[in-house]
Every structure is written in C-alpha cells, then in structure tokens.
Structure 1
Amino acid sequence: MRRATPAVVATAAAGLIAAGLLAPSARADAPALTASVARVSTWSSGYGADVTVANGGDAPANGWTVEFDLPEGTSVSSHWSATKTQSGRHYTFTDVSWNGSIAPGATQGFGFNASGLGLPLNCTVNGSPCGGGSTPSPTPTPTPTTTPPTTAPPTTPPPTTPPTTPPTGGTPAGPVVDVATAAELRAALASAAPGQTIRMAPGEYRGSFVAQRPGAADRPITLTGPRDAVLVNDGPAGSGPSCPAPTDGWDSGYGLWLYRAPYWNLTGFTVRDAKKGVVLDASPHVTMDGLHVHHVDEEGVHFRRSSADGVLRNSTVESTGLVQPGYGEGVYIGSAGSNWGCHGNQDGVDRSDRVRIEGNRIGPNVAAEPIDVKEGTFGGVVRGNTFDGRGISGQNSADSWIDVKGVDYLIEGNTGTFAAPGTFANGYETHNPATTPSFPNGCGNVWRDNSSDLGGVGAYAIRITSTSKCAGRLNVVHASNTVKNATGGLTNIAVTP
C-alpha cells in the first residue's frame, strides 16, 4: 500500500476544514496551577510553613483548593489566609475572598503551623498534583530537629494560644550548660558562646540577669527552661546611667536584659515580679517562644535600640503596668521619638524593624496597649494573636489593643475583645507623630482578617487618625475584617475589598 506524502495529507485536511467536516486544532486558554510547601521556621515540636499557589497557565484562575495529608503525629495547629476543613489526617484549604483570583504568572498563598515535624503528603491543587504531572508525589517526613530557629522566623504565625507545655529545646545542639541556681545562671549568661544552650531547671531564680554575649546567625545562643523556671527581679537598686546600660552596682530591675546580644533564642520559661519583663537593647535576631511574662511594674516585652528582626510567639503577657499603668504595654516595639536621644542608635532613630508578634495571648490586665508600635519602625507583622482588653487603664492615651505609629505593618488574623473594667476607645488606632517623607509614621499599614468585639463601648474596630498625612502611602482596611458590639462600626475610612 502506497503511503500518502505529508503534502497530500495537509491538502486533504485543508479540504475537510473548508468543508466544515474537521475542526481546526486550537488550544483554549486555561489556568495551570501548581502549589509548593516551604518550611520557613522550625522549632523542637513543630514548624511553620508557607504554601504558594502559582498560575503557570495563560488564563486567570478563579479559586483554588489545596489538599494534603499529614503523617501520624503531625497536625495543623493554626492557619491563615485560607479556609480549612479536616477529615482525619486529610486537610483541605480553600481561598478566601481576597486571594482566590490568580492572574497568569502570578501567585497567591496561605500559611499554617504544624504540631509535629511531618511534612505534607499527597498534595493536590484543584484535584491535580501540586507539582504538576499525573500523580501526587509523597513528601518524605524529615528527620526531627530540636534546634530552635536560627533567625527571626518568618512569615508564619504560631498557634493562637500558648502551648500547655512550652518548648524546652529537647536535646539542644551544641554544648549544654545546666543551671539550677541564680548564681549559676548569671555565670552562664556571662560566659555564653555561640551555639551554646543554657538549660534552666525548674525553680525560682532571683536577681539581675543580663546577657551581653552575641550569638551567631548559624549558632544562636539558647536560654531555655520549663514554665516553672521563673526569673524574678526585686530591683531596681543603685544608681544607673541616664541612658540604661549595664553598670556595676546598678540593678535595672529588668527580669531579663539582652544588651548588644543578637542571635539568642529564649524559650519556655517565666518572667515575673520585675520592673520590666524582657528588654532587648541593640539585640536583633532574638526569638522568644513560649514565654510567660506577668506581674511587672511597667512593660512586658520591649524591642528597643534597633532590636530588629525579632520574634515573639506562642507566649502569654498579662498583668503589666502594676506601678505605672501608662507605661504598662504588653509589647513595646521601638521607642518614642522623644527617647531617641538614648535609644536612637541607628542614624539617631530606634529602627526596631521587621519585628513579628505572632500567636500570643496578650491580656487581661495589661494596663496600657497590648501592643504599642512606635514611630520610626518599619515592616513588622502582628498576626494570629488574642487580645483581652480587660484592665486597659486609659492612662497616657492607652485605650486600644494596638496603637500603630510605625510604617508598613501587616496586622492580620488577630482576635480582640473588650469588657469592663477598663477604658476603651477603639480596637486599633493609628497616629502620625512627626510624619515626613523619610518617616511616614502611622502610614502604609494593612488590616486583614481581624475579628473585633468592642463590648458595646468602643467606636471603631480600626480607627485611622489621618488620611492626608498618608497621601501616597495610605492605610488599608480590608473587608475581611469583622466587628461586633461597636458604637461606630468597622472603620472610619473606605473599606478595601
């Protein structure tokens, strides 16, 4: 049989198309979704992950669903930017109102925290394998690691309530120094070296505890202990310098003070009965995980003197401002401009930038704001926290869960409530001290997926003080925020879808 030449076949096909008997081959534009899971932080009992959904096709995708299994012993403890359902060890995440549409070449995503160290298996996106192809590929479970994160973790919030048993580091990497007395702890802090772990036994440690030894990015220094390892400082005592610095014969009264001590991990223990709880001065890249700070005279945790890239997660801060209510913030990020003479160590400014406050419980009985974000700080994240406004004093203008004077903060997935006693005006507020092009204070901040109950007292869940001072760098309030029991409503500005 004689085969037709390609020219003959092409001519015949053209005739059939012309006759309407054979449709020309044409590929319709379509989305092509893939998904990837990346661990962005790891601790002894779990990890945080970002999931990125990418559209490699040539048409927009309108909605996505990512599904995967987790191995025995691992579960999702919290999540954000998606709706989660679960059946046994099988998890399904679907888009929310603002991240369902993905243009060609673009990405959207969500995140989760896992209790346990097993990674997702059998991942699919809209029913197809996450990596493309025809069958899902299981991801092997990693060898467990017990080394706490070596850098400020990332973009993922931990669980919205502290763990019942805070992480204590497991079998720490590097040399381990076990301490059981205040004298042993002071000696260990004074001689700490990169990669070392100082492990506290249960008990009460009284006195002044100051760390001035730096860790390293790949070998942080870890101070760890169980919840019933308790630091207590009955100070202050003696005469100190006008700008706080560790000085012989002077006790600052701080429960734990890191001074020029970057790259530390603080996990699990308690700080109480002190002038201030935990103070970081010129100490970037410090991660605090699972702490309990309570019954302190002033603020609970303070990131100060450009202590950038720090993290506070999984922790509880309550009963602050016992002596000075107006200075009793739960968490204080940066310094007021009036204090930059002491604490403005970066071109005259306290640049405690990119601090992450994630998955904590703050309140009740925090006498000032649960979080005060000061001017001159940029790019932080406040995510997945629970704020209990009972006991906010109203002193020194403290009448909200968060006062934001910083720039470009993401405030997402938090839950806030207020009930008597206390003074309460709004859930979240912005202010604009000394706003300049270099420091557009109180501008460029974003609120998303926050839930607010104002107790029938507060006016707005999110009150933006000025739009004119933020021209070109507006604050954004998304419609995914919710409010109830407000006298005013969700916000005093236009809502962004």
Structure 2
Amino acid sequence: MRRSLLPALVTAALAVGAGLTTLPAHAAAPRLTAAFAKTSSWNSGYGAQFTIANSGDAAATGWKVEFDLPAGTTVSNSWNSTRSQTGQHYTFVNAGFNGTVAVGATQSFGFNVGGGLGEPLNCTVNGQSCQGTSTPSPSPSSTSSPSPSPSPSPTPTPSPTSTGPVVEVSTAAQLTAALAAAAPGRTVRLAPGEYHGAFLAQRPGTAAAPITLTGPRTAVLVNDGPAGDAPDCPVPTAGWDPGYGLWLYGAPYWNLSGFTVKDAKKGVVLDASPHVTIDGLYVHHTEDEGVHFRRSSADGAIRNSVVEYTGLVQPGYGEGVYLGSAGSNWGCHGNTDGVDRSDRVLVENNRIGPYVAAEAIDVKEGTSGGVIRGNTFDGRGVSGQNSADSWLDVKGFDYLIEGNTGTFAAPGTFANGYETHNPATTPAFPNGCGNTWRDNRSDLGGVGGYAIKITSVSACTAKPNRVYASNTVTNAVSGLTNVPVTP
C-alpha cells in the first residue's frame, strides 16, 4: 500500500509545484507616500511642504494629494502644484514639470496656511493614505520558501555635469555649473541650504522643452555682492557682480519654482528672457526691487509667490514686481525697436508686502496687455519716496486688473490704492490708458484717498480706463474712484 501511494503523492506534489509556477507575475507599480512638514510659522499661520516619495518598483506619472483643514483655517497660496478647494477640503495636483516620481525619488509642493495653526487631516495621495499601505504578496500553496525577488536598483543621482533630465545640486559651485550647462528639457533641482554667489543663466529653453530651476522654500539663493566695475548698461561682464540674487539674461522658456531669494541688491531679474514662469518663489530683504521683468521679457508669469521687505537701501526703488523700464532707461533696456516691451506678463495669486518700500507692482510705460489678478497687497511700510505711495502704479496700457485684495495700515505713506500716470515717450504710446479694474477689494485704512485714482481722463479719450461697479472700497477718504463707474 505504501508503494502504491507514492505515485499519487508525487503527482500531487508536481501539481502543487505546477500551481506555483503559474501564479500571475507581480505587476510593477508605484507606491507613493506624502510626508507633511512645517517650514515656517507665525502667530496666525504657517508655511508647509508635502514631500511625495515613491518606494514602489515603477515610476509614478502623476500625483494628487488631498486633505482637510480645520474650520477657519485656509490655504492662502501654494506653489509647485495646481490647487482646488471644496469647503475645507483641498486638492493639490502636480504641476506640469513635477508629475513624474521615479523609483526611490521624491517630488514636493508647498503652501501657506492662514487663520490658524491647524494641520492637515485625512491626507491621501492618489486615493491611498499618505502614510502608505502595504499590499501583501500572494501566499504560495507550499511550505517551501520562494527565492527572494531582487530589490529594485536605486536611481542614481546625476552630477551637475550630467546630460540627463534632472541635475541635483547642493553647493553654490554645483549650481553655477548647472546653470552654465543648462539645456532644453533639463531640470536643475536645489537641495535645502544656502547658496552664496552671483547666479547667472544664459542658456535658452524652448516652448516644447523649457528649462526648470526648482527647489524647496529652504533652498535659499543669496548674493553678497555687488562687486567689480559696472558697465554702462547691465550686461553680463567678466569681473562684475551686479548683486542680483538670480539673473536670467537672454534665457527664454525657463520655469523657476519653489525656492527663496534673499539678501541681494535685486531679487530676480529677467533680461531679454520672454516666456519665463515664476511659481512659488519667496523673495525678501532686497536693497531694490524684488522681481523685474526687463528688456522685453514678455509673455511671462509670476504666480503663487511672496515678495516682501524690499527697498532696504533705496526705498523709492523697492518695488515688489517691476514690469518693463522707465522711458528714460530705454537707451539701455529698449531692445524692441528702442522700447522695453515686457508685454503680456501675468501676475497672479501672489502676496506682495508688507514692507515693500515702493509700489507692490510698477507697470512701466510702453508695456501692454498684462493681467494682474488674485493678488494680495499689504501696504504696510510703503515709503512715499519717489512717488511710491500706492499698491499699483499703471503707466502701461490695456492691462486687466481684477480680483485683487489690497490693505493699508501704518506705518507708511499712502495716497491711493491704484493710480495711473501718462508719461510721454518716443515712440508714443497710450501710456496709462485702456486699463480695466474689476472685482478688486480695497481697504485704504482711513488714509488713502481713492481706491482707483485715474490721473487724467483727457489723455485717454481714445482709449479710456474703465472702473467697474464690482470693485469695492472701505475706509477711504474720498471713495472708490474719481471717474464715472462702469456698471
């Protein structure tokens, strides 16, 4: 009987073995987690960052982080993501440049919270818990131990001279080298830390393959200059450091996201660099202006950023965001038929101020077609020097200014919320004309005259400025505007 059972046992064992070999193969898949960390805090809010990590065995091609905030607590701005909100529930979807999370790699986005110190609740990433969930492997139907599967090889970190799509940098020397070697489609990613130096980018991206410089808020660019003999006009010159925190010169199609620029003569300067997007930067403590679109740096954008504490040395020249150049400077910066045509720049969802010593935004003559939308202007600290006494001075034409919120409180010198001026230029432009204000909310702190002061109606008869009734004002000495309101 024992001998007669052996064939059956062998047959059963073979059947079990056959069953093991026919189990479906494990499908490679990403496994994402999202780690929350505060990067700064104040009495009524904080700054924070989520880091999305992939511990799976396949790259993720997109991510979506969702969470709830306690009642009364809100996200005021964000960067490196697209944000949406339903009540207290927030959703953040990757931006176009940071959706891929390679095996063993990370991506991040940041945001500021106001109205309280409550932290995110019920966090999910791509529908799963942000802490991650383990997927058990199928149990074999045999007591024998299967051979261990090889662990995925870690993705190597490229050096600053890598020709791959991502260059990781952690020192000033590496950053300088990476900017000099930048090529279309490449991403230069900053590690946390301070980078001291004169950082200049002169390599162009393309519409299909822009160049990206990105990093967390804790990656900080500092320029300890200026130094050397300056040329007659600002152009990159051996032995001269202009003191700019980051300078793009002849470098179109760049994306700048997430990092900080501080303690510089000027924060970020774009010269002859159209199609540049600034998203989620923190620019502060600059001697002059914070961000300058100059020398026909048209069709760009600055969004979801914070600019504060500018004009520390020259208060009248401490604008938060500066679009174009004064006509008196076109001899240097007028590179489009003698004019600085930094046109069609989008300024959206930024916080500008407090302690921006000149205007939050200065729109210079000869520029046109920009959109200034959804920003928060904090007028504390405006100096009044060099006629800097409003949130926004519009000398350009055909701008749309909508959905902004402006406030003023002491200290500072404040005349009106928004002003227009009509400087004469050669060639002539309808400077200060054809601009539109809609849905703006202004609190003039009991000091400012008009929310929207149109300096001259007669100068703009062919292209009048329009102030719509959807604008509102409180605490104004004189009222909403000095011109008839458009229904």
Who is 1:111 aligned against? none
2:405 matches 1:415 = yes
**SS of residue matched to 1:116:** strand
2:255 matches 1:259 = no
> Distance between the aligned counterparts of 1:334 and 1:429, measured in 2?
17
Residue 438 of structure 1 and its aligned partner are, at CA, apart by: 5.0
Write out per-residue CA displacement over residues 11-62 of structure 1, whole angstroms, 9 at most, x where no aligned residue.
xxxxxxxxxxxxxxxxxxxxxxxxxxxxxxxxx99xxxxxxxxxxxxxxxxx
Residue 146 of structure 1 and its aligned partner are, at CA, apart by: 4.5
**SS of residue matched to 2:66:** coil
2:466 matches 1:466 = no
> Distance between the aligned counterparts of 2:85 and 2:222, measured in 1?
43
**Contact 2:85 / 2:91 at 8 angstroms: preserved in 1?**
no
**Contact 2:327 / 2:425 at 8 angstroms: preserved in 1?**
no
- Indicate which of 360, 363, 366 corresponds to 1:373: 363
> Distance between the aligned counterparts of 2:242 and 2:65, measured in 1?
48
> Distance between the aligned counterparts of 1:181 and 1:365, measured in 2?
31
Residue 116 of structure 1 and its aligned partner are, at CA, apart by: 2.8
- Indicate which of 199, 206, 210 corresponds to 1:220: 210
Identity among equivalent positions (%) equals 74
Who is 2:92 aligned against? 116
- Indicate which of 72, 93, 97 corresponds to 1:147: 97
Residue 240 of structure 1 and its aligned partner are, at CA, apart by: 1.9
- Based on CA coordinates, which of the two structures has the bigger radius of gyration? 2
**SS of residue matched to 1:458:** coil
Who is 1:383 aligned against? 373
Who is 1:234 aligned against? 224
**Contact 2:261 / 2:282 at 8 angstroms: preserved in 1?**
yes
Aligned partner of 2:278: which letter?
A: M
Q: Please give the residue correspondences for 1:25-36 in structure 2 after superposition, counting only pairs within 5 Å.
A: none
**Contact 1:435 / 1:469 at 8 angstroms: preserved in 2?**
no
2:294 matches 1:304 = yes
> Distance between the aligned counterparts of 2:319 and 2:461, measured in 1?
30
> Distance between the aligned counterparts of 2:434 and 2:362, measured in 1?
16
**Contact 1:77 / 1:115 at 8 angstroms: preserved in 2?**
no
2:292 matches 1:321 = no
Please tell me the root mean square deviation across aligned C-alpha atoms, in Å: 2.8
**Contact 2:75 / 2:113 at 8 angstroms: preserved in 1?**
no
Aligned partner of 1:326: which letter?
A: G
2:326 matches 1:336 = yes
Aligned partner of 2:313: which letter?
A: V
Quickly say closer, same or farther: Cα 1:475–1:436, change in 2 above 3 A.
Answer: farther
Aligned partner of 1:116: which letter?
A: F
**SS of residue matched to 2:248:** strand
Residue 495 of structure 1 and its aligned partner are, at CA, apart by: 0.3
- Indicate which of 366, 370, 387 corresponds to 1:397: 387
Residue 162 of structure 1 and its aligned partner are, at CA, apart by: 5.0
TM-score (norm 1): 0.68
**Contact 2:257 / 2:279 at 8 angstroms: preserved in 1?**
yes
Q: Please give the residue correspondences for 1:196-207 in structure 2 after superposition, counting only pairs within 5 Å.
A: 196-207=186-197
After superposing on structure 2, the runs of 4+ consecutive aligned residues of structure 1 that deviate more than 4 Å are: 74-79, 84-89, 161-165, 171-174, 435-438
**Contact 2:372 / 2:400 at 8 angstroms: preserved in 1?**
yes
TM-score (norm 2): 0.70
- Indicate which of 467, 478, 487 corresponds to 1:488: 478
Structure 2: gaps spanning 5 or more residues: 1-48, 51-63, 69-73, 78-83, 100-110, 120-154
Aligned partner of 2:307: which letter?
A: V
Tell which has more relative contact order, 1 or 2 (C-alpha 8 A, sep 6+).
1
**Contact 1:403 / 1:429 at 8 angstroms: preserved in 2?**
yes
